[in-house]
Amino acid sequence: MQTLNLNGHQLPILGLGTWKSARGEVYTAIKEAIKIGYRHIDCAAIYANEKEVGKALKEVIDEGIVTREELWITSKLWNNMHGEENVVEALQKTLNDLQLEYLDLYLIHWPVAQRKLFVSASKAKHFLSLEEMPIANTWKGMEKAVELGLTKTIGVSNFSVKKLEDLVANSKIKPVINQVEIHPYFQQSDLVDYCQANNIHVMAYSPLGSSDRPAGLKAEDEPVLLEDTSIKELANKKGISVAQTILAWDIHRGISVIPKSVNPARLKQNLEAADITLTNEEAAIINEIDLNRRYVDGSFWEVPEGPYTVQNLWDE
Ligand code: A2P
């Protein structure tokens, strides 16, 4: 599989997402995925399934199916653990749950800070503004995690160009990745161009439109990506699935992808997409269908009198 070079570390261009993978399902999915050739697993503390992911990882390593060095494991710092002094503590909990000694990549999950006592936040008093808890301060903890050998590389998720510029200007170790929502209905070309020009790789979450999102994160009128007629037509012409066409389009853009599945047939199908190439003309068909439509719009961080709004989150 094609890899991306992140400060000398090789990131497989396609990995497995675990957001929304239920406990009871994720263990089998990880074992199956690694058996068939997945080498990158994308995790996060807030997905509340890292212990089960860790059990599966330990078993595949113990069974000799794969070595730790062949795997790329990503995880993310949750909002209530921002702050220089909290990062290593949060990462150590994640490592403990995943039964690993180090991560390959650790990300700041959101540019949103919550008070340490509140893992979930629904009221203004649960949050800290970025003036009270600056990203640059949290990043110092991320840098310390690299220095301690707890993670090979560090990056961010859900960052705008403006927030990336601020971070790059205030960091010793530069972020290697910005993991953001990207799919044909939300292509983020300006952000992708900025990142690629500044040596920050882009990783696409919700590449298939995350139709298994909780109801609270869904709008009634939303367009269904996997039913798009232009992509269907192209997929039929190439004799591949719609999901494969979308994943191959991301890879064509130099963007790594982490489609989630807990289904063996779909795991296999998605993995095979890493070997499918689109011509520039085929990619152009998908470039045409951008709706600038986020599925994960961040409005859940907006509470009355709270410090975050959709506008200041995305700097739009
Ligand atoms: P499942 O886990 O049952 O396979 P995203 O990666 O954008 O979050 O999308 C995940 C959703 O897409 C899940 O509902 C997942 O279901 C479904 N999915 C994953 N792979 C495919 C595929 N190849 N074809 C259709 N649906 C897929």
Digit-coded pLDDT (tens) for 129-140: 999 999 999 999
pTM exceeding 0.95: yes
Residue 161 has pLDDT above 90, yes or no: yes
Is residue 108 within a helix (H) or strand (E), and if so which, with residue range? strand 103-108
| Domain total of the chain | 1
Residue 150 has pLDDT above 90, yes or no: yes
Atom of ligand 1 nearest to the CA of 259: 6
Atom of ligand 1 nearest to the CA of 244: 23
Is residue 12 within a helix (H) or strand (E), and if so which, with residue range? strand 9-12
Domain range for 299: 3-314
Residue 249 has pLDDT above 90, yes or no: yes
Angle formed by the axes of helices 242-252 and 280-287, nearest 10°: 110
Nearest to 157 by CA among 148, 167, 149, 169: 167
CB 246 within 8 A of CB 232: no
14, 28, 211, 244, best to mutate for ligand 1 pocket (most atoms within 8 Å of CB):
211
221 confidence band (pLDDT: 50, 70, 90): confident
Q: How far is the CA of 212 from the centre of ligand 1 (A)?
A: 8
Residue 305 has pLDDT above 90, yes or no: yes
CB 141 within 8 A of CB 134: no
What's 227's domain CATH number?
Answer: 3.20.20.100
Atom of ligand 1 nearest to the CA of 183: 7
Catalytic residue (one of 38, 47, 106, 205): 47
185 is catalytic: no
Identify the three-state secondary structure at position 302.
coil
